[in-house]
Chain A
Amino acid sequence: MSALRLISNRTSQPALSNSDYTWDYEYYEYGPVSFEGLKAHKYSIVIGFWVGLAVFVIFMFFVLTLLTKTGAPHQDNAELSEKRFRMNSFVADFGRPLESERVFSHQMAEESQSLFHFCINEVDHRNKEKENQKGPSLESNTHFHEVPKSSGMLEEDLHCLTKFNIPNFVNTEQNSSLGEDDLLISEPPIIL
């Protein structure tokens, strides 16, 4: 690479003559490098580097797998309430409102409750389902994209929770393979 020419110019001999020019690169030899008396294999840095990289990647993979088994040990309270209201909105969306609400509603903050109503109303409006109108919907300037939900998804309704569109995420596919892994790669839907 030609940037190397700038690096090597200070310490190396000038360029090769034209007759020794390889077909593709101006590669400057770094002067006479003696290969006598090498203790280790001459490609030891190459091998060591790639082995180290592979070990690191595998190690990272095992750490992540370990994390999946233990999960997150602690969360913020704010995070918890936010998550719970979201969870409630999704659960309510799929026709199991009262049960889960009773489980979690006593722990919800007031703000999350009103937001929960807003979500319920948003989802209701979009899906044209008749949910219990619990209260006034929260005025919001966020834009929710359409979430087409097929009625046949009730079997895996909790998977469908992942389709909830938060602002700026266009996620309209009824693809049940979306899950927590797509959090990382595609537009991450909110995972409950």
Chain B
Amino acid sequence: ENISDFSLNITDCTQVVVPEEVFFTVAAAGILENLLILIAVIRNKNLHLPMYFFICSLAISDMLGSLYKTLENIFIILCKMGYLTRHGDFEKKLDDAMDSMFILSLLGSIFSLLAIAADRYITIFYALRYHNIMTLRRALVILAVIWAFCAGSSIAIALFSYEAATVIPFTILFPLMMFFILCLYVHMFLLARSHAKKIASLPSSTVHHRTNMKGAITLTIFLGVFLCCWAPFVLHILLARFCPHNPYCACYMSIFHVNGTLIMCNAIINPMIFAFRSPELRSTFKKMFYCSR
């Protein structure tokens, strides 16, 4: 039980510690930002649309992720101050509940991003029938199914996380979803480019030839941010399962807190990429803030 059993080597990889203030600031910013989006969508009737519901779903999963980290911090501090024992039954149950909340957040994020990409895809390629394909009721049903599946899987994964059978699907799901989302967006991207070319080739076209880079940059930012924020943690899970005693793996796992902070940063960046790009949502925010003054 004692760390004195552990031979401390001067070249050991010690845990990289993220300052408490940074952690709480990032978590609080993530929670507030996503809460703001939820409130804005609920209050503005114009935003009761399938697309905004999917963005709300993403905001909820981001909020859950940040909430998890905050609760865990508080839990640790309470343990440190002695209010909670570390091996009690209640604490273990609380711990399991928090683990499943975190995995719920990850799965919810992935599926929300998938839903947003699919929604945009249908908008582009089935534009005229979009209103019939993606009704409000269907969008709510899709969200209910997604969250039920995520809740079930997260509880299963948290309970059986020591089994390789849960770790492997979990880590395969992540790149698979990313690849699928990438395919959807690339297809939309190609269509946009072909349309732009057609416009440019019109006889009386006066359009300026827009820079080609902007679309590529935007898509790269969107997918790159998600990848950079979540992939480190997913790799951590893999390494913790398969090579916990390997010194290289142990050194990777020592930066775990940085990975956790990255996930919370994703909660802050996601609204900027998705929600705040919408003019209607921005005007709702302005109205909210001006009214409150």
Contact = CB atoms under 8 A, between A and B. Distances in A.
A57 B228 contact: yes
Contacts, number: 298
A72 B49 CA distance: 31
A5 B127 CA distance: 49
A143 B131 contact: yes
Given A15-B87, A173-B279, A68 B80 contact: no
B244 A64 contact: no
Interface in A32-61: 32-36, 38, 40, 42-46, 49, 53, 56-57, 60-61
Nearest to A160: B207
Nearest to B207: A158
A161 B210 CA distance: 14
Interface string A12-47: 111111101111111101111111101010111110
Nearest to A86: B127
B120 A3 contact: no
A185 B207 contact: no
A64 B186 CA distance: 8
Contacts of B240: 4, 7-8
Nearest to A145: B46
Contacts of A184: 120, 185, 188-189, 215, 218-219, 222
A94 to B, nearest CB: 10
A4 B244 CA distance: 10
Interface residues of A, number: 97
B165 interface: no
User: Is the contact region of chain A dominated by helix, strand, or loop, or is it mixed?
Assistant: loop
Interface stretch (B28-36, B58-66, B144-152, B198-206): B198-206
Interface of B: 1-3, 5-7, 9, 11-13, 15, 17-18, 20, 23, 46-47, 49-51, 72-73, 76-77, 79-80, 86-87, 95, 98-99, 102-103, 120, 123-125, 127-128, 130-131, 134, 158, 161-162, 167, 182, 185-186, 188-199, 202-208, 210, 212-220, 222-224, 227-228, 231-232, 235, 237, 239-241, 244-253, 255-257, 260, 273-274, 277-280
The 5 closest A-B pairs by CB, nearest first: A180-B192, A64-B216, A68-B212, A167-B131, A181-B215
14 contacts: A2-B95, A32-B7, A34-B9, A45-B239, A53-B227, A64-B215, A65-B213, A75-B191, A91-B202, A184-B215, A186-B277, A186-B278, A187-B51, A191-B195
